[in-house]
Amino acid sequence: MQFYSVKEVSIKLGLSIKIIENMCEKGRFKDAYQTDNGEWLIPVGDFITSREQDQRAEAVLRQIDAKNRKVDKDIVYIDAQLVADFYGVTLKEINCWIKQRKISGKKDKEDPERYLIPKEEFEYLKGKIETGDINETIKEFLGNDFAEWDIDIDD
């Protein structure tokens, strides 16, 4: 029988080593056992994917991450508060839309409490306001959360 180490299982499941050790202690892995030196060994058969499949998947994910980092360098972001101010909604509402993936955004690396929105997306929505198409555009983004907005644009 082949076995995974606790570290391998933690990587495989995306959980901490301590959580995997606790799962072993509680008998969550069939036929897992603790060696004389206290290390847990978990049967490979408890999992659907093999080491080789996990390694190939990890290589693909690394390639995707590298491409995303390259693309991300080219994107200009603006503070979510600017977007909230522009639309007259709360920052909390904008952050909620980002978390629900109704609009694009990401956490600021320096301040994880702060969200950033791609400037290009914001400019696109602003352009829709100027052409009068904003209600349809926002309705597409927000779905059931949409309520007709009455936005006055100063000339």
Question: What's the confidence (pLDDT) of residue 144?
Answer: 62
Question: What's the confidence (pLDDT) of residue 146?
Answer: 55
Question: What's the confidence (pLDDT) of residue 39?
Answer: 95
Give residue limits of the domains in the chain: 3-71, 75-145
| Fold annotation for 75-145 | Multidrug-efflux Transporter Regulator; Chain: A; Domain 2 (1.10.1660)
Distance of alpha carbon 69 from alpha carbon 63, whole angstroms: 10
CA-based nearest residue to 130, from 114, 145, 152: 152
Work out whether the CA dihedral 9, 14, 19, 23 comes out positive or negative. Answer: negative
Question: What's the confidence (pLDDT) of residue 143?
Answer: 64
Distance of alpha carbon 62 from alpha carbon 55, whole angstroms: 10
Distance of alpha carbon 100 from alpha carbon 16, whole angstroms: 26
Question: What's the confidence (pLDDT) of residue 34?
Answer: 95
Distance of alpha carbon 84 from alpha carbon 30, whole angstroms: 51
Question: What's the confidence (pLDDT) of residue 28?
Answer: 92
Question: What's the confidence (pLDDT) of residue 95?
Answer: 84
* CATH hierarchy code of domain 3-71: 1.10.10
Distance of alpha carbon 101 from alpha carbon 90, whole angstroms: 17
Question: What's the confidence (pLDDT) of residue 137?
Answer: 63
Tokens of 134: 């904003």
Distance of alpha carbon 91 from alpha carbon 101, whole angstroms: 15
Question: What's the confidence (pLDDT) of residue 155?
Answer: 47
Distance of alpha carbon 42 from alpha carbon 34, whole angstroms: 9
pLDDT per residue rounded down to tens, the chain (155 residues): 899 999 999 888 888 999 999 999 999 998 999 999 999 999 998 888 888 888 888 888 888 878 777 766 778 888 989 888 888 889 888 888 888 777 888 888 888 888 888 888 888 877 766 666 656 666 666 666 555 555 454 54
